[in-house]
Amino acid sequence: MTAAGSFGEAVRAVRCGADPDAAAGALLARMTEAERLGILDGDEPFWPGMAEMMGKGYNLEPIVAGAVPRLGVPGIRFSDGPRGAVIGRSTAFPVPMARGATWDPALEERVGAAIGAEIRAQGGNLFGGVCVNLLRHPAWGRAQETYGEEPVLLGALGSALARGAQRHVMACVKHFACNSMENARFTVDVRIDEQTLHEVYLPHFRAVVEAGVASVMSAYNSVNGQWCGQNRTLLTDILRTEWGFAGLVMSDFIWGLRDPAGSLAAGLDVEMPFAQQRAVALAPALAAGTVLPLQARQLTRVAVVGRLADVPNSGDHGSSDVRAPSVVTPLAGLREALPGVEVSQVDGAGDTAGFDVAVVIVGYTAEDEGEYVGSYDPALATLYPPPDEPGAHDELARAVAAANSRTVVVVMAGAAVTMEEWRDRVPAILLAWYPGMEGGAALADVLPGRSEPGGRLPFAIPRDEADLPPFERNATTVTYDRWHGQRLLDRDAEPAAYPLGFGLSYTTFTIGNVDLDVQRGGHVVQVYATRPGPEPERFLVGFARGAHASDPGSVPVALALPIEKVDDDATR
């Protein structure tokens, strides 16, 4: 057997029926001690790797870990996400929170397949973008990267993304677990009881694991006193023993573990992305024996207002940043879609009075919210400054609405934005999220009614910030309970501005009878259950997007609900 052909021959043998574990074992047996240690972390040494990444840009090429050239083992070739393939020049899709608003697993699976194909075409073999962390508070900078606040929705869409991607490459679900904050993620300890952990913060991860995801990425934070990258309860007792996961567990990047040997013993397979802590500590430890394994015909003039009207704004510039070859802005999209209409960018609200309609683009950019990679802990490196605080958009929305009664407010953001100061003064509000490279075109498709706004909120939008859970950006200890989002509003009898699952279409629906105009449309059927007790808790147990109806009539929708979702006496 030639050295370069060892891995290839093992793959061919497995395709012909050989046992994969036996084939992997045979390859492992041929590795030297240094090669065995090398498959436990990234291939690039830390400082040269950091210099290259900072100089060339993050993830322009796949990040390699665990390659053994002598035996032809390619290792994992990591490409980040979840907005698209964070590699080279790739398609920038709408952010996951926007995709979460579709409540459409089939569509998400198609997105995953497209991302997986692009990664494979550019030399990658692992998609690290299945983010299912639960949205506990909209101030989480990376809220745009997940699908919402309910475990069932998170699990369904995360599973779909993984299935799609895995038609072409391996997929990785992250960040395991309880990683629902940004600034404090390197230092915070999440205190949580077992019931809340298993019923609220882990079911979506389990769903993705049971859907066959190939890899799991641990989180930076600690849970009940143990860093996630070396938390045996999470990585071994729950993930492997209870859920039966047999795939690869990797750390989050750079500061994903604190104890090299302890992380290995806890069940973390690969330290990412460089040869860093393990490269220094494992060889001596091994020697010491201490290591275990958005009526065109009625329009003449349209005003587009706001600082984001003609700005490429596809999302965060952190590790999920996709370098799209081009981005269609809202202004460009509307001009392209309405060729016989004067579409003008207007600076002042008062200048919008003579227009048929005013489209106000407000919200955030990567300068306002996103991934935080700094830290107030002197023991960790500060790579970037914290993001700027978001600016107010309320004054602009109110002013334009006062000048033009036909005002549409388009909000670009990754999570809930309070709208109490102006939402009752405008006839229409559209959440555009961070809509990807074709977002302006999509907005221009929705606003004229060529497509319906079919999204449903994957989280609740409160009337007041006081109705959100406590949130401290630089906390060192936080306690997670089961009360957040719609559950918290229900418990406190506080009406939402817009509840979980809310969304209007250009067609009217009632559950049981479908009342259709000539506009074709679809509806998302949602089933909720209420847990009895002194603090009754309403939670999502299932959903389905009904087939589009083009004629008056009914469209049957079937939902299969596991008994453990509704029966407290069922075995969990």
Strands 44-45, 274-275: pairing is parallel
Cα–Cα distance for residue pair 103/121, rounded to 1 Å: 29
| Residue ranges of domains in the chain, CATH in brackets | 1-30 (no CATH), 38-287 (3.20.20.300), 505-572 (no CATH)
Full DSSP string of 148-191: -S-HHHHHHHHHHHHHHHTTTSEEEEEEETT---SGGGGT-EEE
**What are 381-391's pLDDT values in tens digits?**
332 223 333 34
Number of Cβ within 10 Å of residue 244's Cβ equals 9
User: Would you call the peptide bond into 82 cis, given omega within 30 degrees of 0 as the criterion?
Assistant: yes
pLDDT > 70 in the chain, percent: 87
Read off the tokens for 551. Answer: 């004629």
- Assess contact for 433 and 459: CB atoms under 8 A: no
Contact by Cβ (8 Å): 166, 212: yes
Half-sphere exposure of 143 (CA within 13 A, CB side): 22
Cβ–Cβ under 8 Å, residues 329 and 311: yes
The answer to whether 115 touches 169, Cβ cutoff 8 Å, is no
pLDDT band at 17 (very low <50, low <70, confident <90, very high): very high
Bridge partners (DSSP) of residue 409 are: 360, 429
Residue 405: which pLDDT band, with cuts at 50, 70 and 90?
confident
CA distances to 55, 194, 512, 545 from 557, in Å: 52, 35, 10, 8
pLDDT higher than threshold 80 for residue 34: yes
Looking from the CA of 137 toward its CB, the CA atoms found within 13 Å total 21
What confidence score (pLDDT) does residue 504 get? 83
C-beta separation of 105 from 543 below 8 A: no
> pLDDT, tens digit, for every residue of 542-556?
888 765 655 556 677
CB atoms within 10 A of CB 323: 17
Confidence of residue 277 (pLDDT cuts 50, 70, 90): confident
Cα 549 to Cα 79, 416, 504, 560: the distances in Å are 39, 30, 16, 22
- Span of 216-230, 465-479, 509-523 with lowest mean pLDDT: 509-523
Nearest to 43 by CA among 24, 69, 14: 69
DSSP count for the chain of H helices, then E strands? 16, 19
With a cut of 50, say whether residue 3 has pLDDT above it: no
Residue type at 83? R
Copy the structure tokens of residue 4. Answer: 């370069």
Helix ranges restricted to H, 380-510: 394-403, 439-446, 485-491
Please state the rounded mean pLDDT for residues 298-326. 90
| Local confidence band at 305 (pLDDT 50, 70, 90 cut-offs) | very high
Cβ atoms 446, 439 nearer than 8 A: no
For 166, how many CA atoms within 13 A lie in the half-sphere containing its CB? 18
Closest CA to 209 of 235, 174, 245: 245
Instruction: Say which residue, 531 or 521, is predicted with more confidence.
Output: 531
What single letter denotes the amino acid at residue 1?
M
What's the whole-number average pLDDT of the chain? 86
Q: Which two tokens stand for residue 264?
A: 């290995």
Q: Residue 148 in contact with residue 193, Cβ under 8 Å?
A: no
Higher pLDDT, 123 or 56: 123
Spatial contact of 142 and 175, defined as CB atoms under 8 Å apart: no
In this prediction, residue 331 carries a pLDDT of 97
In this structure, are residues 222 and 231 in contact, taking their beta carbons and an 8 Å threshold? yes
* pLDDT tens digits for range 462-486: 999 899 998 888 888 999 999 999 9
Judged against a pLDDT cut of 50, whether residue 2 lies above it is answered with no
pLDDT of 422 > 50? The answer is yes
Only one residue has tokens 């269609």, namely 328
Residues 14-34, mean pLDDT to the nearest whole number = 89
Residues 313-346 have pLDDT tens digits of 999 888 888 989 999 999 999 999 999 899 999 9
- Candidate from 151-155, 182-186, 285-289, 518-522 with smallest mean pLDDT: 518-522
Q: Which of 481, 363, 455 lies closest to 412 in space, CA to CA?
A: 363
Strands ordered across the beta sheet of 301-305: 342-346, 301-305, 357-363, 407-412, 428-431
Q: What is the pLDDT of residues 251-262, one digit of tens each?
A: 999 889 988 888
**What is the model's pLDDT at position 550?**
57
Read off the pLDDT band of 564 (50, 70, 90). Answer: low
In DSSP terms, 41 is beta-bridged to: 271
Whole-number CA gyration radius for the chain? 25
pLDDT for the residue 427: 85
pTM: 0.80
Min mean pLDDT across 56-65, 151-160, 547-556 is at: 547-556
Render the burial of 38-71: b for 16+ CB within 10 Å, e for the rest. bbbbbbbebeebbeebeeeebbeebbbbbbbeeb
H or E stretch at 280? helix 277-287
Residue 124 has pLDDT above 90, yes or no: yes
pLDDT at 499: 93
Rounded to 10°, the helix 151-165/203-210 angle is 30
Give the span between the Cα atoms of 79 and 86, in whole angstroms: 6
pLDDT bracket for residue 517 (50, 70, 90): very low
Percent of the chain whose pLDDT exceeds 90: 53
In the prediction, which pLDDT does 51 show? 84
Question: Rounded CA gap, 14 and 29, in Å?
Answer: 17
